[in-house]
Amino acid sequence: MKTSAVNYRKVQVEGLNIFYREAGQKDAPVVLLLHGYPTSSHMYRNLIPILSEKYHVIAPDLIGFGFSDAPHYKSFNYTFDNLTKYIQGFVDLLGLKRFAIQVFDYGAPVGFRLAVANPEKITGIISQNGNAYEEGLSGGWEPIQKYWAEPTEENRNNLKGMSTAETTQWQYFTGVSDKSLVAPESYSLDQFFLDRDENGEIQLDLFKDYATNVALYPTFHKYFKESQVPLLAVWGDKDPFFLPPGAEAFKKDLPNAIVKFFDTGHFALETHVNEIGEEILTFLATLRK
């Protein structure tokens, strides 16, 4: 199988650099890959070659993550609305007219906002542990939900442990039966960026704002129901944050949604990229261009 080269690029959106990975023929159908917390487009490094044989694959780093700019939290409003604003600017700058989106973790509320605002552009959605239903939220969210309800300094400080090296590795390893499949550069690179000066404050701001994503769930459901957008959910069923019922819940609004579970954790692509890649290719082949 011939795989296309991956290009590493940056573009400026409203004065900030957005880094992205790009592969595949420019005239092929586009797939936009949106990463989650605490990672970057690096999480898609093994999936991009699988998809780029037939598709034009684009994977940006969100502002504050990876190799994109991360302005100081006191000078930039770290909200999911604002992260989406820059991805919208990125889509507009690249002139993307029609594309499928793959969303994971934080990439889900960004991608779903993007879809609601641009329904005519979205050919399909792949959700890899990208939640849109309250059924999908595990008990692991309780400390964050407490901060939403009572945004005190104490509750904020109680979340600082979410950005430690131990927690990052725990996210990668939980639910994984063969930990030797998890590449150490994955969690090590994530931690490198998390450990940047005051980046932890960025993450705390986003933990607080995640409440807006839950508040938007009915809006996302309305979009699903009205658009009947084709959707594939590929889910690590041992995810400590987003539970399998969250994947099944897509069928409430999208009866034709395809839901596939894999015996792994949150970062399912680390352990099951070939199986998930095969499901995605099968799904993408059914979409209208």
Q: Edge-to-edge strand order for the sheet containing 6-13? A: 6-13, 16-23, 56-60, 30-34, 99-103, 122-127, 231-236, 258-262
Residues 73-93, buried b or exposed e (16+ Cβ, 10 A)?
A: beebebebeebbbbbbbbbee
* Residues in the chain, pLDDT under 50: 1
What is the model's pLDDT at position 2?
59
Domains and CATH numbers, the chain: 6-284 (3.40.50.1820)
Residue 125: φ, ψ to 5°: -130, 130
What is the model's pLDDT at position 212?
98
What is the model's pLDDT at position 29?
98
What is the model's pLDDT at position 3?
64
What is the model's pLDDT at position 42?
98
CA dist 101 and 253 (Å) reads 18
Catalytic positions are: 266
**Residue position matching structure tokens 């932890």:** 200
Between helix 107-117 and helix 199-215 the angle, nearest 10°, is 50
